[in-house]
Every structure is written in C-alpha cells, then in structure tokens.
C-alpha cells in the first residue's frame, strides 16, 4: 500500500480594514503573530507570497471574529502614532537570507530611508544589493517590516509591492510625523 506524506496545515485569520491609501489585508495566526500585510488590490500577490513561504503546507484563511491588536496598532499608525508598529509580533517562512533582510528592515527608523546598497552594507552583505532588493520585494509583511523605507541609490523611489504612490504616501506620512520627534536624527528623508 502506498504511503503519502502528511501535509501540515496552518490556519490564519484575515482582517480587512480601510486606510487612507486603500483597503488593507492583515493575516495573523492563533498566537496573534502577523503573517502577512498587504493591500486588497494586491491580494493575489499576497497569497502567492504565502504559498512560496509555506511550501507543502496547506494554508487556510478565515475572517477574523474581532480586531486583532496588530490591526489596532496599524490603525493608530495611519492616524499618526508611529510608535507601535515595531512592537507587532511577526512570524514568517522564507529563506535564511530573506529572513535576515526582512528583520533588518526594522532597523530603519520611521522618517529615514536607506538605499539598497546602504542597506546591504548594513546587513554585512555589501556586494548583495541586488539580492537584498529581491528579498525586499518578497517581503510578506508590508509596513510592519518597512520595505518602503528602502530606495534607489540616487534617492529615487523604486519598486514597492503596493505601488509607488503608496510608497510615497507612507514615506511622506512618516517623515511629517518624525519631524516632530524629540530625536533630531529621525527626520532625514530627502525630498522627492
């Protein structure tokens, strides 16, 4: 009799909520760790990234019964409180290199940007700016792992999974709020 591998399953909750720049999707697990954050008009991309992260694992999404703590923090972020996003607990798959890049994104403070080359240097991988860019583009947890804070070497806005108009809005939102921060180093975003 043939044997078949047992496929693991992950059950996640999906929340949809309005933001100033479109409907947001938030996926969390039973421990309320965020697994994905994306935009409704990029839902297919989010699902593809999740399939790539959890190869061989069945992932099911069900509507959340109540707002998660992460949702409340993201709503506060859009209302002007940038402080809570760094406290959101995350969990994700990906390769070791992708995880290094994604976690490294949290080291870029709100109101600041880094070029892909500078970010690669900061990660201790100075010759890997292209690989850093690819990993950054596969980031499953937008805003919480702030991939929008990585820009082109000539200070231009380059790729963002949610669209360049959203990247611009997020950077301007953070820069305007960081300008009122007691830390004068926090408002260093070049003009666009």
> What is the mean predicted confidence (pLDDT) over 153-158?
75
Judge if pTM exceeds 0.75: yes
Residue 86 gets the label, from left (phi > 0), alpha (psi -120 to 50) or beta, of: alpha
Domains of the chain, earliest start first:
8-186 (1.10.10.10)
Q: Which helix (H) or strand (E) holds 11?
A: strand 8-19
Contacts of 127 (CB under 8 A, 6+ apart): 120
Residue 120 CA to residue 135 CA, distance in Å, equals 11
pLDDT at 179: 58
Among 17-31, 110-124, 163-177, the range of highest mean pLDDT: 17-31
Report the catalytic residues. 147
Q: Contact, 151 vs 191, CB < 8 A? A: no
Q: What is the pLDDT of residues 25-45, one digit of tens each?
A: 999 999 999 999 999 999 998
pLDDT band at residue 52, thresholds of 50, 70 and 90?
Answer: confident
Q: What own/partner pairs with CB < 8 Å and gap ≥ 24 does 149-152 have? A: 149/105, 149/108, 149/110, 149/112, 149/113, 149/114, 149/174, 150/105, 150/108, 150/113, 150/114, 150/115, 150/116, 150/119, 151/113, 151/114, 151/115, 151/116, 152/115, 152/116
The CB density around residue 189, as the number of other CB atoms within 10 Å, is 20
Residue 84 CA to residue 27 CA, distance in Å, equals 18
């Amino acid at each position: 009799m043939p044997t078949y591998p047992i496929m693991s399953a992950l059950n996640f909750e999906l929340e949809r909520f309005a933001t100033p720049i479109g409907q947001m999707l938030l996926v969390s697990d039973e421990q309320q760790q965020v697994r994905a954050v994306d935009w409704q008009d990029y839902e297919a991309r989010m699902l593809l990234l999740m399939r790539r992260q959890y190869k061989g694992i069945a992932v099911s999404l069900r509507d959340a019964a109540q707002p998660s703590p992460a949702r409340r923090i993201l709503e506060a972020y859009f209302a002007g409180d940038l402080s809570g996003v760094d406290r959101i607990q995350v969990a994700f798959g990906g390769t070791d290199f992708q995880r290094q890049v994604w976690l490294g994104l949290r080291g870029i403070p709100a109101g600041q940007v880094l070029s892909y080359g500078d970010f690669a240097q900061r990660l201790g991988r100075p010759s890997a700016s292209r690989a850093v860019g690819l990993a950054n583009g596969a980031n499953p947890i937008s805003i919480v792992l702030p991939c929008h804070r990585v820009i082109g070497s000539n200070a231009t806005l380059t790729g963002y999974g949610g669209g360049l108009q959203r990247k611009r809005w997020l950077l301007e939102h953070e820069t305007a709020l960081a300008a009122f921060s007691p830390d004068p180093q926090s408002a260093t975003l070049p003009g666009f």
